[in-house]
Every structure is written in structure tokens, then in C-alpha cells.
Amino acid sequence: MDNLSEKIASVVVRYTDLDNNLAELSTSENLTGNIGDKINYSTADEIKNLINQGYVLINDPFDSKGKAPVFSEDQDSYMVTFKHGREQVTVDNLKYGCKLEDLQVKGTQTVHYVGAGSRTPRDEVSTITFNRILIYDRVTGKKIGSKGWEKVEQSFPVVAAPSILGYVPDQTLVGGKSVTADDPNREYTVTYKVNEHISNKEQKAEIKYLDLDSNNEEIVESKLLTGAPNTKIDYSTINQLKELDTKGYEVVNNGFDANGDIQFFDTSDEYVQTFIVTLKHKHVLVNKENPLSGIDEAEYHKLSKRIISYNGADEKTPEEVVQQVSWNRNLTVDAATRRIISNGKYTTEWKPEQETYSAVSIPVVSGYHTYVKEIPEEKVRLANVTEKIRYVKNGYVIPIDEKGERINVLPKLRFTSDKNDPTLVSLPQNNLKNEEYEPEAINLAEIDPAKDIEVRYLLKHKYVVVNKDNSHLDVNPGSYRRTATALVRYEGAGDKNPNDDIQTVQWNRNITYDEVTKEILEDGKYTTEWKADKDYFEAVDTPVISGFTADIGVVAKHDVTQSDLFATVTYRKNGAIIPVDEEGEEIPQVKPIPFLNDLTDPTRVLATEEVPEIKGYRRTQETVLIKDPTADIKVKYILKPHYIPVDSEHPYRTVKPNNYSIPVKEIIHYVGASDKTPADRIQGACWSRSLTVDDNNGKVIKDGKYTTDWSVDKKEYSAIKTPVVDGYHADQYQVKEHDVERENIDVVVKYHKNGQIIPVNSKGEKINHATHPVYITDPTDATKVLIEQPAPRILDYMPRNSSIIVKDPNRDTKVIYYTFDEIKELIADKKLKTKVESVDGNSTLPNVISLPGDDNKRKAIVTFVDLSNNAVQIASSNVLSGKIGDKITDLYSTAKQIKELEEAGYEVVYNGFDPKGATKYFEKDQRTVATFTVALEKTKKVDSNEENKLETTSKKETIEVDGQNEQDHKVLKHIFPWMK
């Protein structure tokens, strides 16, 4: 056979980039070694380094199985190949210099509302977002592609024009169109006109349920409702929305009764009121823990296998080994359509529950061998893998003697399979009954274990039995016969110590003696275990010695051993009961009381001892439980205590009052209104408790018999409404109720000066002699001013508008005034379609702008406002028309409308139209549409505690309320002209 070690080979490992024309990324040094030797090199570190640079390993032929190859004449290089890794850049993962606008486009749908004056709704803006994913090369950092927009088209929600009492929209529904990222914006205008044809007929209203994800298709049939004008629409979306929720929908916008809103039928036959409830499909997480009907489990859960199949060993062939790995992923599913959404918010890649298949050792089969010892650990993949292992039958070993002749007394036997390595074999043992032969050593690595081979066997051993009945001159008797003892010794009790206790045992055995090698074989064929003439040493009871306790009560029965056994029993002096006072000091003239021995157990004393009485003291316990018989036990004696209660009614000299009584208060500071600033408001409370004190020593007893928890005389400070100050508005409507705590509370309410009305001429210049009236504060809410403020009268001027609408109570408002000459010019130029007359009917100097049209015709309207919701209009009479002198109250009564609102939870605060049957007329000097206001607010229930608080309000508070009433009356005269 050739000597392989004399041939040298070399090899190089190259790392190449498949995406860059096989560019070389790295290379190993020139590796050299003997042919057949293992190459001492690993690609692991360089692969890890390149992966960290963004590369992805494609193939590693060098150690694909985790096992380095050997040097060979046929292989001088290995190519490890890589490709560039790719990474998705999203709006949540901005990298490589990407900006948000590169990945996202936002579109808006704007609905403008015009034509309803101060009641015109604000623009309604809806927003949609288009996102996309860009693909970047992780190595070069350059963009290499795009997945396009996640949604090619999206639909805006359909918008229903809001109902406004007294007005009619030109469009009922607008918007809802589909848009793309290239053209994402839409704009619409809804124009309102005055409802000139007030209808008393039955009105219609329609509720539509639209699917935003399906181009605003109707999900269920629209609900068409009917009812009398200005009456509540008796319908709720709750049940329908619950049903749609179970079908996988969720609400985007409820345009009918969100937050408990109440809707009323309109008074126009020109259109059908429409309310839109917009929904979209719910996107839900589906996985092994969250299955969903209609979604196949295989979409989110799979099994991969690695099968190791064996053959060639006939009936001894092992069963195949199947390794399974569960793969899971999360899905994003449209709950309404059961459609799986790619790249959804919950979607993840497949992930195995374990990263690798564990290594599998090839089983050893007696009489057979393999060429593979182990299937190495391997990274799992979704595809199934099969590894096939073949067993080969071992060849025969034929025994021959030193002359090369066949030893006929020995049979031929097959190679013996290694117990631990299926790839290895050994020469079989081939012996007679008392004679052992040893095979000559051969190099098993150079033979084929599947073929027969002749091997020399030499006689090496001849065995005989030796024991107490069959002695041998060359064997020491101590090899097969022994004596052992067990000794118990006592100490610690001085001259009271008992004598030692001694027991013995005899041991015997058979041994195997090799007369060829002159050796005793401990594991020989005749060798037996040692055997004793008895099984155990008897247990030994420890004697009881008065005044002492032993650490061992019984030296237990013990199995005999070949070694001598030794045990020591130690006695210790017993402990005693030591009486002590409350400071832990021993009480004088009282002797310790030693513990008594348990006569049945030398390791114990009596479990309990009686505690003696001591005059002048009370023992804290009548008996003691003894756990350690040698440790003294101190027993405390105390004076009989004298407990007393301590609280506000029972103070005590050594206890500070703040330990049982803490007064607290809430102070409301009003600032910013100069000399009109209201005085501070103070509410008080008191926390209290009882303590237990030992009158013998003045100490407070924790958790004593009189001790109570802290309590307070009231649970919360009442809410305090902020006073109205003329000319100022506050930053808080009221100071809310507060839970009473064990510390003072300071609250600051700030007033800010109201803005002013600034008269200016037609050129925008201030009018010198004009006054600048301050906005009138809302009498019902200290944080507001009246929304509508009257324009002041100025000699020789007329205002463009008789009143203004205040948007910001802090800012001044300019009002344009015209001279009477300017008014004449405007009329002459037909820019002002009015006629001008004097106030007294005689003067030729025009100073009042009158309404156009029929001199005898007048108009009026009654509005109902909610003071608890920023004076929002909640109903109206619509426009009432008549001649001068006609009774307006004959055309309309507030009674029916007030009754409906009271049933809805409102109560009347002011009735500016027909209180207690008052009569209103169309008046001659009326220059605008006469407006009468009925103010209401939500009813608030008051419990008995609140009533008691109201009854105990201070006199100062009453005076403040009276002042507030005067302010209210002053303001109401501006709102309700009929008040005197």
C-alpha cells in the first residue's frame, strides 16, 4: 500500500459575488497538507463577516455538512458564493436616505359649505394615505425596485350635507369617489338657500350604511324613516352596527347618532334628509393561536421533515428517524371578505419553532458497519429532506497460529462492531473455557471490514479459582478474607459517659488467579463479590443521663461494610427558663429553671415547661415551647398596662394634636378683574382619628383598642361656578368638585378683559367722537361673551350691520359706519337696495336704514338654544310673516316645542317670546327680522347632600349671587327686548 503521508497537496477557498460578475470578495491563504489529512480551516468567520456586510450565502461547498474536507489530488480550490441581500424600506423603516414623501402620498376630500350665514357648517375634510415599499440593495445601498402602491385606488367617504333649520342644501350627498396616488385630491361645494316653503307635511329621512372599502357600496338596505316636521327621528343604529361588527365591519364615522346625538326631521319637501354611517372592513390577526373560520390552517401553520432512512441490515435495520419542525406565520385577514391581505399590518414571514435539525447519531447494528457516523446538524427549511444510510455486513476473522496454520479449536468469527461508532470494527475475542487467546495487532484503517481476513491468535492466560477452601501458595489470604468492626463512643458528660459499644463481622469471596501472568483478576471469570457472615450491625440505643442531652438518640442499624465504622455520641448540658423584664434584663432574685430530661428520649427535654409567677409582674405566657434543649429561653414579664383613648375630645399632654386632627381647606383665588375681582372662596374640612395611649408610660400603642383609621367630615369639596364679572371673561367655567385630601388645595381662576367694538369710517379710520363699548359678558357663563353684540349708535353715522358676531372675546372688532351722504350715494348707485327715512318722521336728515319691500310686511322668528352647549340652536319656529300690528303669538306658540324638549331632558331658563301667555306684535319701527330667543339647559339632578350644602351657603355667597342677578338682567335686556 502507498504511503499517503509523503504526498503534499494545496487548496484555496475563494468567496465570490454572483451579483457582480463573480467578483472576488475575499480569499483564504494557500492551505497545504498531506493528501488524506483533514483541512484545518473553517469558512464560518468569513461567511459571518460578509453576511454582516449585507451579503446572502448561496453555496458553501467547503463544509456544507459542517465537516471540513481532506486534502486531495483532484481538488485545488473551493468557491463559496454570495448574492446581495435585499431590504424593504417602508414608512416605519426609513433607511438609505429615504424621506417619508418618497414612500407616502396623502390625499384630501374637502367639502365646502356656503350660504347659511353664521350657521354655515365648517368645511369637512377627509384624508386618505397611499403607502408603498421600496427595495434597496443592502450591499450598495442603492434602490433596485419598488413594490408599487399598497393600494392602487382608495375611496373617500360619502358625505351627507348637514341639516340646518331654515335652510335647504343644493346637494344631499357629495364625495365618495375613488382616487389614485397620482391624483389624490377632491373638492366639493354644498350651497344652502333659505327654506321659503316651510312644510307641515310628513318628512322623510334616510340612513345609509356604506362600505368604504368597496367604493362606498351599500352594505344593507337603506332605512327610510318618516315623521312630522321638527320632531325627533326615532331610530338607533346600535343593533345594526352590532350585527355588522359580527360580520367583520367596523365604524369609520357614524353621521346619525354618534355620542348619543339626537336628530330631528326637517321642514322641507325639496329633499330627503340623508345620514351616512361609514364602515370599513376589520383587519384581524390570524395565526395558530387565533384561527378564523374560512381560513385554511395550512396558510399559517406547516410542518417540515428531515427523514433519515436506513437499509442493508435485513431484520436488524433500524426504523427511519423523522425529525419534524413546525413553521408558523401571522396573517392579516379582511374579516368581512375572509381575504388574506399581503403585507398587512399583522403579516409576518414563515418562522420555524426551531432553527436547526439536531444532529442524529447513526445507530450501531451488531455485525454491520456504515461509512457515516452522524447526520450533522442542519438549518431547517420548508421543503422536506431525506438522508439515506446503508449498512454493510462485517467480514470473517479466521484465527491462525504463529506458523500461519489454522487453529481448528477456535471458530471463525465476524468483525465486532464498535459499541459507539457504526463506522468502526474490532477483532473479535476468541477463547476456550479456561484459556484466553489474544489476536495480533493489525491496522484496521487499512483493511476493508466487509472482507474476510486471517489473523494470528496467541495463548495469553490460564485461570484457576482461589478462596478460603482452595488456597494457593502464591496468593495472600487477605485477598479473599477480611474482618471489620463497628465502634460507638460517648463523650461530653464527664465521668457520666457510658462505655464504648463494639460489634464485628467476617467477609469472604472467590478470586480468579492467572497462572500464566501470576496476576489476580478482580473481574475474572471465577471472581465473586465479597460476602459477610451477617447482613447488618445492630442498632445501639443512647443512654439517658440526667441534666444532659445527647445529639444522637439511637445509632441506627447499619448495613455491614468492609471498612471499620465509627460513631461519636456527644452530650450537652440542658438549657433553662430565664425570666426577664420589658427591657430584656434578668429579673433579680429569680433563679433560672433548668429543663427536665425526657426519660424516653436522650436527645430531648420535656416539650413544654410551666412559667413561674413573679409578684409585681404579669407573665406574658404560661408555658414555653422548647425547640432547642440546650438553649436558654428568656420569658418576658410586663406591668399591666392602662390604655386610654386620645382624640380631639380627649387630648393628652404628650401627644401633639396633629397626630389625631388635621384641618384642611380648598381656596379659590380669583385674579385679573382689577377692583371687580371676586373675593376668594374657601371650603374647609377636617380629618380626624382616635389613638390608644398607655397611661403608664405615655406611649402611643400601634393598632390599640381605641385606634381608628383617619376619616374626614366630608368626602369632597363642592363644585363652585365662576362668578360673572361685567367686562371680563374667565379661564374656567367652574372649579370642579375635588376629593378632600390631607393637604390644602389652591386653585387660581384668571379673568381677562373683554375686547371692544371699534367704530371706523368707510376708509377704515377710527371715528374720533365714537365710544368703544366693551363686549357684554355672557350672563350664564363667565368664560364667554355674548356671541352677537349690538353696534353702538353714533351721531351722524349709520353702521353697516346692526350687530356683530364675536369670535374671539380677547380681540377688538372694527365696525364700518357710513355718513348719511354716503348712504344716499350707495342708494343712488343701486349698491344699497333700501329706502331711508327719519326716526321722528319729520326730519329730512336720514339716520336709519329700513328694510326693503312692502312697508306693511314684517317678519319674525323664534329660536331655541341650549345654554349648556355653547348656546347651540336646537330648534326654531321658522320665519313667521305678518302685517304691522298683527299678533305674532297668534301664528306660533312655544308650548309644544318646549314640551318635546323637556321630555328630552331640558328645562327652560328664559322664554323671550310668550312667557305666561304674553303677546307679541309685528311693530312699525321694526327694521330687521324680529328674533325671539327661548333659552334652555340640560336638567341636573341634585342629591340630598348637595341640597344641604346649598342651604348652608354663606351670606357672602348670597350677596355675590344678587350682584350676579343684576348683571344677568343687564345682559338679558340686550338679548330679549321685551325685558324692562
The domains of the chain are located at 4-84, 297-392, 394-464, 475-571, 574-638, 643-750, 854-940
Strands (E), 522-656: 531-532, 536-537, 540-541, 548-550, 554-555, 558-559, 565-573, 576-580, 593-594, 608-610, 618-619, 623-625, 633-638, 643-646
- Per the prediction, the chain carries an average pLDDT of 86
Of 488, 485, 510, whose CA–CA distance to 561 is shortest? 485
Contact 760, 816 (CB under 8 A): yes
Is-contact 103 54, C-beta < 8 A?
no
pTM above 0.85, yes or no: no
Nearest to 909 by CA among 943, 869, 944, 859: 869
| pLDDT tens readout for residues 344-397 | 889 999 999 999 999 999 999 999 999 899 998 889 999 999 999 999 999 999
Distance of alpha carbon 64 from alpha carbon 804, whole angstroms: 87
Q: How crowded is residue 978: how many other Cβ atoms within 10 Å of its Cβ?
A: 13
The domain over range 854-940 is classified in CATH as 3.40.50.720: no
CATH topology of domain 4-84: Ubiquitin-like (UB roll) (3.10.20)
Judged against a pLDDT cut of 90, whether residue 311 lies above it is answered with yes
The answer to whether the CB of 104 falls within 8 A of the CB of 150 is: no
Bridge partners, residue 925, by sequence: none
Q: Cα(903)–Cα(905) distance, rounded to whole angstroms?
A: 5
The bridge status of strand 803-805 relative to strand 813-819 is: unpaired
Phi/psi for 678 (5° steps) reads: -65, 155
For the cut 60, the answer to whether the pLDDT of residue 943 exceeds it is no
3 state SS for 720-744? EECCCCCCEEECCCEECCEECCCCC
**Structure confidence at residue 976 (pLDDT):** 39
Residue reference for cell 361656578: 721
For residue 477, the tally of other CB atoms under 10 A from its CB is: 12
pLDDT band (50, 70, 90) for residue 582:
confident
Say yes or no to pLDDT of 13 above 50: yes
Q: Look up the CATH number of domain 643-750.
A: 2.60.40.4300
Q: What is the strand order of the sheet 576-580 is part of?
A: 593-594, 576-580, 633-638, 618-619
Q: How many CB atoms lie within 10 A of CB 20?
A: 14
| Predicted confidence (pLDDT) at residue 67 exceeds the cutoff of 70 | no
Contacting residues for 797 by C-beta, under 8 A, at least 6 apart: 759, 761, 767, 770, 817, 818, 819
For 182-186, the CB contacts below 8 A with 24+ separation are 184/105, 184/106, 184/107, 184/108, 184/128, 184/130, 185/107, 185/108, 185/109, 185/110, 186/107, 186/108, 186/109, 186/110, 186/156
> Residue 118: what pLDDT?
92
566 bridge partner residues: 487
Q: Considering the domain 297-392 in this protein, what is its CATH number?
A: 2.60.40.4300
CATH of domain 475-571: 2.60.40.4300
Residue with cell 380626624: 688
Cα 672 to Cα 449: distance, rounded to the nearest angstrom: 108
Element (H, E) at 238: helix 238-246
Q: Do domains 4-84 and 643-750 have the same CATH topology?
A: no
| Band of pLDDT at residue 462, cut at 50, 70 and 90 | confident
Q: How confident is the model at residue 870 (pLDDT cuts 50, 70, 90)?
A: low
pLDDT at 580: 87
For the segment 166-194, what is each residue's pLDDT rounded down to a tens digit? 999 999 999 999 999 999 999 999 999 99
Cα–Cα nearest to 264, from 733, 896, 874: 874
Nearest 5°: CA angle at 404, between 403 and 409?
A: 95
Name the residue with higher pLDDT: 68 or 450: 450
933-to-2, 88, 802, 913, 972 alpha-carbon distances in Å: 120, 63, 18, 7, 10
